[in-house]
Amino acid sequence: MHGRTVSFAGTPPWHHATCQSCPADSPPARADCPTKVRSEAIAEGGPHGHASGVSEETCFCALTCTLVVDGYHSALGAFQETLHVAVSTISACKVTASTPKVAGMSSKHFINDPVHLVSTALRAATLTNPSAAVDAENKIIYRRGDAHKNAVSLVSGGGSGHEPSFAALVGSGLLTGSVAGTIFASPGAEQVRRCILGRVPGEKGVIVIVMNYTGDVLNFGMAVEKAKATGIDVEMVVVADDVGVGRSQGGKVGRRGIAGTVLVHKISGALAATGASLKDVAHVANLTASNLVSIGASLSHVHVPGRSASDDLTASLAANEAELGMGIHNEAGSGRHSADLPSLVCTMLAQLLDPTDNDRAFLSVSSNDKTVLLVNNLGGVSVLEMGGVTAEVVKQLEEAWGIHPARIISGTFMTSLNGLGFSITLLKLADTGLGPGKSMLELLDAPAEVTGWSAPVKSETWNLKAASSEEASKIQNVEAKPSNLRLDFSTSKTILDTALSKLINVEPEVTKYDTMVGDGDCGIGLKRGAEAIQKLLSTTEPTDDPSILLARITQAVETTMDGTSGALYAIFLNSLTHGLNVESPTSPANITSQVWARALQSSLKALGKYTPAQPGDRTLMDALVPFVEVLSKSGSTKEGAKAAMEGAAKTKGMKASLGRTVYVGGEDWKDIPDPGAWGLANFLQGLGDAVGN
């Protein structure tokens, strides 16, 4: 069966798969012949008209061939009379359900009933935007009132699960109505017809904007034809911006529509709001659609509410893998790729822009073209990480391609439920031919009263030509007041390097402890501060004045360590610098342990003004206070470090009184020291060992 296509006569084209491992010249002889199943018709679309892949599964080919196709399982016994197999010696091929590998996604939801989920989400669209109304029976969101009756109406929609598209885009300056299907499934033609004929004004005509999926095009198209039959002027615009599906894979179906569709909505909606004609709005909508290219990538597939985890037939992704070209309906992408962001973005931009890629060069964009960049969150990427993604995309566009977008829009516009991915869209700005105030850029910047469009910056603000968005700091670094204390710089560097290396080496242990009892950032913060100090010591101008050196170290800590511990260390070190100056003799003299002890006692007292923490509260004070006290009494750094380690060890099982740890509890605490105290104790131990040696 190697390379032979198994298909069901009379069934849709997405039910195709190929058995790749069996011998081509004979039927399988044993039931233990391993095979792999792969999709032959990715771009054809699944049962709802959306592209669907086939999970790769191991199967046994003697009498059974296990196919897993878009959640569609069938026993072929009922279809044997229509089964087409190239080799006549195969007497039967049984298709059964198998358990897929599902990894990297969550199957937990607050609402698990998909019908209830969609209906309540549509209701919420009217609660957050008073200008919107809902036709619950037909899953339609439409604009209230008649203020928009003298404008061309814009209708769009598709399967649910892409929010804020499309319901949250209904409002002044954008859509007039949207129609929702169930999750990842096109709405029916009757739903769309009722929206066009009964929920939006038709006096100036209606533009129907639909993404290029078989089910959407058919159902919306059927409704458009029905509406035309009643005498209403209706035009349909199909958006196909995804380059993740190349020419060879797309075949007659063509490219899919993804996030670039939102730019078509925005530009044509703003134009319609000016009172433009149906002809002009349709022209600009098509012009915008023809100048779009998009591509997506995701770290995992999504789980659809209402399905059991075993029903999600998506192959797992490794921890360091991303799916390149993944669609917005859980469709398989064009391939796997390293999840390393710079490398991933590099490949994505190449697929968007490389003119030599004959399979994907759908739009010619050069450095001379004015463009708009849309970086879209597929639903599950944090706002923080989206900032990092956007910065990387812009950096590579400018440095590798010479493209400087006139507008950069980043946010959540078209999702795949809680998809852990993003998409990149480039719009090449073209002349609309409609004169001032109606360019693509001006229409994009025009205000819109909707909850799903988050690009509030005005044209005037974008047009401000600032010299740089990252102005050089004019803050002058001021050195500390010199003291007459002396400590050989090379000695200071050797001692500190030893202690800092010990702290860096213990970071995994500190991080492990903090992950169990805190927020997991303590070890990383300490390591970051230690590395910054080591870098400073290797680059700073040598000085034998410990007060000046300590001031420089303090500045390094302040700029690299944040959070509570960073603030505590900065206060302590600033106070220690001041303490050394207070202890400065009238003439140059080597610093002694007694001077260090008095300065440390002074800084410990100053720290007490800002925190009530004391030994016994399970904080870094459990290590710091014993160190200062023993050093003051014995004059020995090594003895002080030993006391610090003992103090840190005592925090095992100790109940926290301060910090975020007070909110965390558990039986495992008896073996876990306070992470901050443990990290500091290890640094002080390294300090004591270096001084002792």
SS3 assignment, position 169: helix
Using CA atoms, how far apart are residues 20 and 18, in angstroms rounded to an integer?
6
What are the DSSP E strand ranges found in 240-298? 292-298
Strand 140-143 and strand 177-183: the pairing is: antiparallel
Which tokens sit at 199? Answer: 């929920």
Residue list for the binding site = 159-162, 216
The DSSP H or E segment spanning 452 is none
**In sequence order, what are the beta bridge partners of 19?**
4, 37
Asked if 136 contacts 119 with a C-beta cutoff of 8 angstroms, the reply is yes
Considering only CA atoms, which of 11, 25, 5, 13 is closest in space to residue 65?
A: 5
Which tokens sit at 586? Answer: 């009238």
* Torsion of the alpha carbons at 336, 341, 342 and 348, rounded to the nearest 10: 50
DSSP state of 640: H
User: Which sign does the torsion angle of CA 341, 346, 349, 350 carry?
Assistant: negative
What are the DSSP E strand ranges found in 192-303? 206-211, 234-239, 292-298
Residue list for the binding site for substrate = 159-162, 216
Using CA atoms, how far apart are residues 349 and 422, in angstroms rounded to an integer?
13
CA R_g for the chain: 33
Residues annotated as part of the active site: 329
CA 523 remoteness from chain centre: 25
Which tokens sit at 683? Answer: 């640094």
Using CA atoms, how far apart are residues 319 and 473, in angstroms rounded to an integer?
40
